[in-house]
Every structure is written in structure tokens, then in C-alpha cells.
Amino acid sequence: MNVRPESTSDLLSSLSELIRTVRQLGHRHHAALGPTGTPVALLKVLRDGDVRVSDLAVRLALAPSVVSRAIVPLERDGLVERLPDPADARACRISLTAAGQQRLAEVHGDYVLRLTELLTSWDEAEVRSAARLMRKLQGTLADGIDAETDLRLRVPALITPS
């Protein structure tokens, strides 16, 4: 299958507009719906188990300093906690607390309700199709990132400017 650059350009523009709109929605409804952005992303990653700050940074493609700063208010609010790392006494692991699990479930539920309200002009098939296509796009892009990383690891001279 060949995709024309014009179609890819249109997809990229649509994706950029969607990202901006979702950010605006998150900012507008932050007070009513709770945390957005990095704090929620951290809680979602921690749902799978405790990890080091450096691992959180890699999984979220953020600088470790950004992750460290985002953890402070979550820890203060009792949503996450620091645990000793059994593999390295100098390090710690960040873990989601029961309160963090509950807050994440609440935030997710609130956003689902809000998005459901906004999608009243859509039918079930359109929502399912959009979700399927977004998962496919995300998977394709993630595979591309993995392939680029693998290429850099195998052939650093091709990527590094001389």
C-alpha cells in the first residue's frame, strides 16, 4: 500500500490539531476533573507496578528532572510513595498508593463521562472505529520509534552528525 505525502500531511495536521484541542480541554476542565498531563501519565504508568524515576522518564519520554518535579505533589497528596530499591540501596522506586489508584480511577471515570457527553453526535460505530484507528496509528508510530532506536544502537555513525 502506498500513501501519498499529501494524505500524510493531512493526517499530521489533524493529529496536531487533536493534540492541541485535547490539551485545551484538559486545561479548561482541570478544576472540575482533576489532574491532567504528566501527573496522570505518571499514575497510569505506576498502575503497572513500581519503577525507578529514570524508568518513568524513559517510558514517558520526559527528562528525569521533569518526572522528579511531577512526583513531588503526587507524593505530598499521598498518591505515590517512594520505596527502597532492593537492587540498589542508593535508589528508590516510585509506587502508586491505594489513594493513587482510587484517584486515577476517579479521574478516568470523570473524563470518560465528559468525553461521552461531547460525543453525542457520534454513533457507536464511529467511536469504535476512531478508537481502533488511533490504536493502529499509535502502534505504527511506536514501532517506528523502536526501529529508529534499534538502528541508532546498531549504526550510530549514520545518525550522529560529523
Distance CA 22, CA 28 (A): 10
Amino acid identity, position 44: K
What pTM was computed for the model? 0.70
Domain ranges of the chain: 7-118
pLDDT per residue as tens, the chain (162 positions): 799 999 999 999 999 999 898 888 777 666 554 556 788 889 999 999 999 999 999 988 889 999 999 999 999 999 999 999 888 888 899 999 999 999 999 888 988 998 999 999 999 999 999 999 999 999 998 888 776 655 444 444 444 443
Burial of 42 (0-12, 13-18, 19+ CB in 10 A): buried
How is residue 37 annotated by DSSP? Answer: S
Per-residue pLDDT, 151: 47
CATH tag, 7-118: 1.10.10.10
Segments of the chain assigned E as strands: 51-52, 80-85, 88-96
